[in-house]
């Protein structure tokens, strides 16, 4: 029951009605017996500064940040962690003693899902499809974990150079046209192939990034960070080729659990979060 003692949490974005975070976080809070409540709050871009100030004034314990505010919120924060600084985006904010601390738990979620599969990026060659915000988190996570090389397959390599330029200390990060022979050579050497694009996400479930599956070794892990549907066209084709596959559900649960820990100091029950997510997706 919500009372005057209940601590407040939430997520801000625009639009936000589709967010699955309230179902996932409230289930974990109930399981932990914590007197918290988590809500979704629509915040238009022009209202971001006022909204953050309002949440601060209302005594919120913290909140998640999603599109289109992940980068825009940076100047409004007092501190950011290394992951948020390297990725250039914040998805979790903690309010402590009137100060706003920003974190990026997408990186932890991305790498945590790989660890659950028993896959270590250390010394491995990775190929990523896309060069947007999700790709930045994946690139930094792979670099941080010791990947040997990362190739970005994109429609427009010139635009992807912005992402490459964010990591000048990692020269083994390259961008190439995903229809090129160079990209097919990168696929042939890949230990892991990651789709960070929205191609294949519901409702356009038939879409798929262009991948020449004949180039890929069967032991290459195919990872799609999309979680709806649970098996995208990309993952269907990877499985048909004989590759092990991983969808975006563990990453979503992992980033949510990392935020939960930041706010409460406790570990979230990931099984409960996953079940709440499954039910929400079913609806």
Which domains, and CATH codes, for the chain?
7-104+251-282 (3.40.50.10860), 118-243 (3.40.50.720)
Other beta carbons less than 10 A from residue 16's beta carbon? 19
- Report d(CA 190, CA 211) in Å as an integer: 12
Per residue in 255-269, pLDDT (tens digit) is: 999 999 999 999 999
By C-alpha distance, which of 266, 249, 283, 260 is closest to 117? 249
pTM over 0.85, yes/no:
yes
Average pLDDT score over the chain = 96
DSSP string covering 197-254: S-TT-TT-TT------GGGS-TTSEEEE---SSSS-HHHHHHHHHT--EE-SHHHHHH
By C-alpha distance, which of 147, 138, 148, 241 is closest to 195? 138
Per residue in 157-194, pLDDT (tens digit) is: 999 999 999 999 999 999 999 999 999 999 999 999 99
Q: What percent of the chain has pLDDT over 70?
A: 100
Other beta carbons less than 10 A from residue 44's beta carbon? 12
Other beta carbons less than 10 A from residue 86's beta carbon? 20
What is the pairing mode between strands 173-177 and 149-154?
parallel
Kindly list the catalytic residues: 70
Residue 247 has pLDDT above 60, yes or no: yes
Per residue in 28-52, pLDDT (tens digit) is: 999 999 999 999 999 999 999 999 9
- Report d(CA 193, CA 127) in Å as an integer: 5
3-state secondary structure of 7: strand
Residue 231 has pLDDT above 60, yes or no: yes
């Amino acid at each position: 029951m919500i009372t005057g003692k209940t601590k407040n949490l939430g997520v801000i974005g625009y639009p936000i009605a589709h967010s699955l975070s309230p179902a996932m976080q409230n289930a974990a809070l109930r399981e932990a017996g914590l007197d918290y409540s988590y809500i979704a709050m629509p915040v238009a871009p022009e209202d971001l500064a006022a909204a953050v100030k309002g949440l601060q004034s209302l005594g919120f314990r913290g909140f998640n940040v999603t599109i289109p505010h992940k980068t825009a919120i940076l100047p409004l924060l007092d501190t950011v962690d290394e992951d948020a600084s390297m990725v250039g985006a914040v998805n979790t904010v903690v309010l402590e003693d009137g100060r706003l601390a920003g974190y990026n738990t997408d990186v932890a979620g991305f790498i945590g899902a790989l660890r659950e599969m028993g896959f270590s990026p250390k010394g491995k060659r990775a190929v990523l499809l896309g060069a947007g915000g999700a790709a930045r988190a994946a690139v930094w996570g792979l670099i941080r974990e010791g990947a040997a090389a990362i190739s970005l397959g994109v429609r427009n390599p010139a635009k992807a150079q912005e992402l490459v330029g964010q990591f000048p200390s990692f020269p083994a990060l390259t961008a190439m046209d995903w229809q090129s022979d160079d990209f097919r050579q990168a696929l042939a050497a890949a230990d892991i192939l990651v789709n960070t694009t929205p191609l294949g996400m519901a409702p356009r479930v038939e879409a798929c990034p262009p991948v020449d599956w004949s180039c890929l070794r069967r032991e290459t892990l195919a990872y799609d960070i999309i979680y709806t549907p649970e098996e995208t066209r990309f993952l269907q084709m990877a499985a048909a080729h004989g590759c092990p596959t991983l969808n975006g559900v563990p990453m979503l649960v992992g980033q949510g659990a990392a935020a939960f820990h930041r706010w409460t100091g406790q570990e979230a029950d990931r099984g409960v979060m996953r079940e709440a997510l499954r039910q929400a997706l079913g609806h």
